[in-house]
Amino acid sequence: MKPVCDALLLALREPDAMAGFDAETWDRVVRQARVAGLLGRLGALASSFSGRLPKAVWRHLEAALTLAEQQRRAVHWELRQLGHALQRTEGPVVLLKGAAYAAADLPPAAGRIFTDIDLLVPRTQLGATEAALMLDGWITSPHDAYDLRYYREWMHELPPMQHIRRRTWLDVHHNILPETARRKTRPALILAASIPLPEFPRFSIPEPADQVLHSATHLFHEGEWRHGLRDLVDLDALLRAYGGDPDFWPHLLARAETLNLGRPLYYALRYARRLLRTPIPVNLEAACPEQPGHLATALLDALFLPAFASAHAECRTWFSGPATFALFVRSHWLRMPAHLLIPHLLRKTFKAGDA
């Protein structure tokens, strides 16, 4: 990563260092953090020593914290509404990522902003869930027949839904990887192990190891890198919180093997340790149930490291564009077999040209 981006990583790793940043450094860090969706996170990390930051800087961090707090309130309220709507469906409704962090007040929640609510329900309940949501005013955004087929046959989620009055976005998943993906996992096990939330009776959250595995899978299988660093920061917060318990690590490895998610876990551990110095037991990567070879590792380092920095123009190098493009292609490659992927990408290319 370019040295110009080191200050943001330093702030995330060692928050105390923020007290020593000069005005020029802040001028870059605040902008980078804003674009990366991490301004509120910096605010949460610095809130105990805000008096030691320049006033003008703290104003921005406090404003971002205020926004995050409003989103937390809004999500809590939305979950109560959704809980009513899903009263009569059966089986667990598991909150994923941002909504789970906010509902259970998990470590990544502090200062975090997000744009939609992600749910995981049993595949058998998908129709009933969609029907219940539609009755409550959730509508599927308009898609053409191809898009509908893309979502309903190949993907692991319904097309995004939006509430007609509250405008909240909702993604209903029945798996954490697409149906067509090369890698197969077992969502039934994630649902079965999920932990009910007393405060939100209809909902549960994944057990701690599954939180890490889902976040890692999402990050390293998606082609969208704008919030890559933010997602890595989530992983760092989860690993720091749960890693204090020595039993957590062996359980995490075992769970990765059971769910066939060893590879994304390997990447999560590698890049969290490398970029954020997450305290992970030595040699844990070596114990990962599935690891890439040396050549693949070198190649992925060359792609992932620039991609994590790609959100802000100042952190981009000549190689950032090709790297994020390569990762975009990789994400599709992982998502679909070639006989589906190539027509799909061609179609998307020509549709983008029409617009």
Partner 1 sequence: MALNLGDLSPAALRRQLARGLDLRTGPFRFLIRCHSEEVARGLVMLYPDFPLCESGFRDYHIRVDKVSGPRRWFRPQCNFWHDSHAPFKPLPANHAFPLLEWGMNWCIAGHAQHYLMLHAAVLERHGRAVILPGDPGAGKSTLTAALSLSGWRLLSDEITLIDRDDGLVVPLARPISLKNQSIDVVRAAFPHAVIGDIARDTHKGTVAHLRPPSESVARMHEKARAAHIVFPRWRADAVARLTRHSKADAFIHAATHGFNYSLLGRLGFELNAALIDRCDCWDFEYSRLEDALAVFENLVT
Q: For binding to partner 1 (CB under 8 A), which residues are involved?
A: 23-24, 26-27, 30-31, 34-35, 54, 56-57, 59-60, 62-64, 66-67, 69-70, 73, 312-313
Comparing CB distances to partner 1, the nearer of 58 and 304 is 58
* Number of helices followed by number of strands (H, E) in the chain: 15, 7
Q: For residues 121 and 266, what is the distance between their CA atoms, to the nearest angstrom?
A: 26
Query: Measured from the CB atom, is 129 or 324 closer to partner 1?
Result: 324
Two structure tokens written together for 148: 């509908």
Query: What is the spatial distance between Cα 350 and Cα 286, in angstroms, rounded to a whole number?
Result: 44
Contact by Cβ (8 Å): 193, 206? yes
Q: Looking at 212-330, which runs of residues are DSSP E strands?
A: none
324/228 Cα distance (integer angstroms) = 11
- Closest separation in Å from C-beta 57 to partner 1: 6
**CA-based radius of gyration for the chain:** 20
Contacting residues for 31 by C-beta, under 8 A, at least 6 apart: 312, 314
In whole angstroms, how close is the CB of 345 to partner 1 at the nearest point? Answer: 25
Return the number of the residue (74 or 329) whose C-beta is nearest partner 1.
74
CB of 155 to partner 1, least distance (A): 29
Of 63 and 192, CB closest to partner 1: 63
At 75, list the tokens.
Answer: 């999500």
End-to-end CA distance of the chain: 35
How many whole angstroms separate alpha carbon 173 and alpha carbon 206?
A: 14
Distance in Å, CB of 65 to partner 1, minimum = 9
Please tell me whether residue 284 adopts helix, strand or coil conformation.
coil
| CA pair distance 230, 113, nearest whole angstrom | 10
Instruction: Return the number of the residue (196 or 321) whose C-beta is nearest partner 1.
Output: 321
CB of 339 to partner 1, least distance (A): 37
Residue 30 or 176 having the CB closest to partner 1: 30
Contact 46, 15 (CB under 8 A): yes
Output the smallest distance, CB 202 to partner 1, in A: 25
Nearer to partner 1, 72 or 214 (CB): 72
> Which residue, 31 or 277, is less far from partner 1 as judged by CB?
31
Q: Considering the complex, what minimum distance in angstroms separates the CB of residue 277 from partner 1?
A: 26
Least CB distance to partner 1 at residue 39 (A): 9
The H-or-E segment that residue 127 falls in is helix 126-135
